[in-house]
Structure 1
Amino acid sequence: MSDPLSCPEFFQNPYPFYDELRTAAPVQPVTTGSGDRPSYLVTGYAEAKAAFTHPGLSKDTSRFFASRPSGRNLHPAVAHTMLATDPPEHTRLRRLVTKAFTSGAVTRLHPYIQHIVDRLLDALPSDGEADLVAGLTIPLPVTVICQLLGVPEADRAQVRTWSNDLFAAGQPQRIDAASHAVAGYMADLIEAKRHASDGSLLHDLVTVREEGEQLSEDELVSLAVLLLVAGHETTTNFIGNAVLTLLQHADLRDRARTEPGRIRSLLDELLRYDSPVGIATFRYTTQPISLGQTDIPAGVPVLISPGAANRDPSRYPTPDSPDPDRDARAHLAFGYGIHRCLGAPLALAEAEIALRALLARFPGLRLAVAPEELRWRRTRLMRGLESLPVFTR
């Protein structure tokens, strides 16, 4: 079939497209991009969960593209991150950074996250119009991950611009240029950290490498780029989507405002309802496999859609309505299996602290435009707002 994921309507609201595709078949071939390489799109919940852990699916893109030149000029540090590896390489790389994102490590960050949230909310007008994407959902996770990595404050706006460019759907030259810019920056920052013990995660990774953990220079730069980009992109979209859902559903907003202790459990339903990741990163078949009732040949891309799977009515009844009492802990917004989002505990902490403070500070918060006037980022991978205009009273 023709590419169902490229029209403007898809970026504004992908869920009718996902529903139509899932109804036809929860796993089916689709044409994407240039149309010369069909892919299989997974939109069913059970099929997506199975695909995330299927032994016949690989994330090693270097192997896939070795005999299929793409004509792209992505920097290797972006093209071959930890996300694009299989065990044992993936296991080794993930082990080196896991300790920074454990629940205990994230809990110790709570006071810092609260400080940043309070500072950002202080800068918003108490009785006027504000853009919560520019004023909260971008700067909060950018500031937190940059602080963890030791990125100087003066460089953070530029880092965010490069990161945003990496997800510019349909603009390969812009993406490629951004990949070289951010990789070059992180390589220079790593060199600086080698000579300055500042307690940052990036300095820790440099130290690990030099103590014989066999991190090559390319691996070190790649890890740094991945942590920088993945450390805030998903969270930016997560918080923005969550705020929008609360503003559009008074019962959820009132529940979150009057019972702030329940925000954490509500976050799972918010993630299910409007996942910050529309389509997960690239996988391909290393052998013929079957997903659901669909046979997939070897050597083809498989695209798993958490956004579609989380609204599969066979798993979640009335999926297009957010339910504050639904148990949505099994959602796939953070993925599943060995590649489940490493930074999920940090993202949840940032969202909980931000939502609690935002609703307490601005109990009359409401949209400043009609929902259909909101504009969404033109990227298949991410589901996030370009801006979120609100009235604070």
Structure 2
Amino acid sequence: MLEHTPLADPYPAYARLREAGGAHHVRFRSGLYGWVVTRYGDARAALADPRLSKDPRNAPPDWQAAGRGRPLEDRSGLGTHLLTMDPPEHTRVRRLMSGFFTPRRLEAMRPRVRALAHALIDRRPAGLIADFAAPLQLAALCDVLGIPPADRGDFGRWTDAVVSSQGDPAARPEALEHLTAYVTALLATKPPAPAPAPEPAADPAADPAADPADDVVSALVGAAGEQGRLTEAELLSAVFLLLVAGYETTVGLIGLAVHTLLRDPAPGLPGGPPAEGTSREERDRVLDVALEELLRHDSPVELSTWRFATEPVEIGGTRFETGQPVLVAIAAANRDPARFPGPDMPDLGREDNAHLSFGHGPHYCLGAGLARVVGREALGALTRLRGLALAVPPDELRWRASLTLRGPLELPVTYDGIAPIGP
């Protein structure tokens, strides 16, 4: 059923499912199967319910067999990561990583992200995915991971081949081998960084000052004491999770946001007229509010990763028996009219916007703050492209064919000129 949802516009199909009932049983060609939750209240409850495990070892044997070899569903190899862990294992690993995603550290990254976004605009991008969104997010991830500048060319090519939907499938095994070898060597040579403050910080002003020498990999290598060291498999899996979960999702966020804005232009946003007579603070506020609505209206995460009932669970009138797999349809929940008035039209000034695009509960996306920084700076830089428009008819765009993620594979654009960077 969900595999036949139109890639460019799955929302009418999700609306029919939501109206017909809160949860529906689905089976995919891969052999995976389970329940999909579609209504906002039920989705929020499912995302936070500790009885719905993230560990695929709690799934039925036939489901586990169907999921083998899929990195986000398989606990072997690179699948031992935050998306397949429950507390206390999940709590331990997340705490080790979370100190490098605090508000103060992310704000310290913003000037570099902003400068890079504007530098990419100055190169006159013809396609906003390959020429803008992808290199911008890859550079941000390299900063977070501590990839040395001299290595970023090879690292970027390998990462793109492994995690990008536009990559050549035949090139992925060799690229994965190179990337695994590189990350393994990087882990062996990283000096331990000072242990970061645990998440969450009660006061952002009290977060540790960002140190340019600090990075997530150094922190993970040096983690010790009562939190416990990570195993080699956990270290590799943590790095690959940041690449897989952080790269395509933020690239999709930018692509979907611009796709929406080019259909419904608004002042001060890409594709719309300039916001005249406004301060930098006012423009940033417009971008922040609009970004949240763009995330709600067209989320790059269409479906959550899997959960598994560890005991009978009833949500929204549907009973999930022990072992049954459960998906949350983020795309359906974010357009539930019971929660969001006029959900199918973007309201770029919407203030009450508790969307679920970054999840909810203990598995709330660790990289949400980084995605917001990159997304906002991307939109701000794109406002310099005057007369921005799609270079092809909308129905000629190609879309990512993925169960979990969605977004355009490319956004070819035209524009009349490039405005200078404003104050």
- Residues 1-393 of structure 1 aligned to structure 2 (within 5 Å): 4-7=1-4, 10-35=6-31, 38-64=33-59, 68-70=64-66, 72-73=68-69, 76-124=76-124, 130-151=126-147, 152-154=151-153, 155-164=155-164, 182-193=179-190, 199-209=214-224, 213-251=228-266, 253=269, 257-258=274-275, 260-261=283-284, 262-359=286-383, 361-393=384-416
Larger proportion of helix: 1
Task: Tell me if structure 1 keeps the 8 A contact 2:192–2:222.
Answer: no
Task: Tell me if structure 2 keeps the 8 A contact 1:74–1:176.
Answer: no
Letter in 1 for 2:27: T
2: CA distance, partners of 1:59 / 1:177: 30
Cα drift, residue 228 of structure 1:
2.4
Task: Tell me if structure 1 keeps the 8 A contact 2:192–2:221.
Answer: no
Q: Which runs of 5+ in 1 are unaligned?
A: none
Cα drift, residue 275 of structure 1:
0.4
Cα RMSD (Å): 2.8
Task: Tell me if structure 1 keeps the 8 A contact 2:302–2:406.
Answer: yes
Tell me which moved more, 290-299 or 271-280: 290-299
Tell me the secondary structure at the aligned position of residue 413 of structure 2. strand
Tell me which moved more, 249-258 or 361-370: 249-258
Cα drift, residue 108 of structure 1:
0.4
Cα drift, residue 65 of structure 1:
6.3
1: CA distance, partners of 2:112 / 2:88: 35
Q: Which runs of 5+ in 2 are unaligned?
A: 194-211, 276-281, 417-423
Task: Tell me if structure 1 keeps the 8 A contact 2:303–2:329.
Answer: yes
Task: Tell me if structure 2 keeps the 8 A contact 1:282–1:303.
Answer: yes
Q: How many residues are aligned here?
A: 380
1: CA distance, partners of 2:78 / 2:344: 35
Task: Tell me if structure 1 keeps the 8 A contact 2:42–2:316.
Answer: yes
1: CA distance, partners of 2:372 / 2:51: 31
| Per-residue CA distance 1:299-354 (angstroms, 9 max, x = gap) | 11101011110011111122110012222430000000110111111111111111
Instruction: Give identity over the alignment, percent.
Output: 38
Letter in 1 for 2:84: A
- With normalisation by structure 2, the TM-score equals 0.82
Cα drift, residue 185 of structure 1:
3.7
Cα drift, residue 121 of structure 1:
0.9
2: CA distance, partners of 1:297 / 1:193: 45
Task: Tell me if structure 1 keeps the 8 A contact 2:120–2:132.
Answer: yes
* Residue in structure 1 matched with residue 201 of structure 2 by the alignment: none
2: CA distance, partners of 1:379 / 1:247: 24
